[in-house]
Amino acid sequence: MVQSKAENVDAYLAEVQEDRRAALSRLRDLCRAELSGFREVMAYGMPAYEREGGAAEIAFASQKQYVSFYLMRGDVRDAFEERLAGQDMGKGCLRFRKAERIDFDLVRDLLRATAAEPGTVC
């Protein structure tokens, strides 16, 4: 998917290819459940979650070759260094080549760590 022009997350999910929609909806549900006090927005053409008045700390997207989970907090990435070591990880992007291989337990733990306290967004 190229950068979406969807105005909200519901519209974003409606335009995602069908074989990824359930996984992305589950990511959204996890974000909404674990990121208490965060606001769901569309940023850079993807769903993102930000604290009141702050920058997005979490986002996800359906890319051409994979599903991306963006973790914009270096402190959380550092705290999970061992668990992230075997993952396909860019500087702030966890990539899952197949939607059915998303490690939702890892994602949930990353979300909980992000929500636990504010930190610096890279």
Q: Is the dihedral of CA 84, 50, 28, 1 positive or negative?
A: negative
Helix, strand, or coil here: 22?
A: helix
Q: pTM value? A: 0.93
pLDDT at 18: 92
Q: Which CATH number does the domain housing residue 15 bear?
A: 3.90.1150.200
Residue 3 lies in a domain: no
Q: 1 lies in a domain?
A: no
Average pLDDT of the residues in 65-82: 95
Alpha carbon distances (Å) from 101 to 1, 21, 53, 104, 105: 19, 14, 34, 9, 11
Segment 67-88 shows an average pLDDT of 95
What is the average per-residue pLDDT within 64-84? 95
Q: Is residue 121 part of a domain?
A: no
Give the Cα separation of 18 and 60 in Å (integer): 16
Domain tally, the chain:
1
Residue 2 in any domain: the answer is no
DSSP letters along 66-108, please? SEEEEE-BHHHHHHTHHHHTTSEE-SSEEEESSGGG--HHHHH
Provide mean pLDDT across the span 69-97: 94
Name the residue range of residue 108's domain: 9-116
Residue 23, in any domain of the structure:
yes
Q: 2-49, pLDDT tens digit by residue?
A: 678 899 999 999 999 999 999 999 999 999 999 999 999 999 999 999
Structure tokens, 109: 């733990």
On whether residue 64 sits in a domain, the answer given is yes
Distance of alpha carbon 34 from the chain centroid: 12
Per-residue pLDDT tens digits for 85-120: 989 998 889 999 999 999 999 999 999 999 999 999
Burial class (CB in 10 A: 0-12, 13-18, 19+), 36: exposed
Q: Looking at the domain assignment, is residue 4 inside a domain? A: no
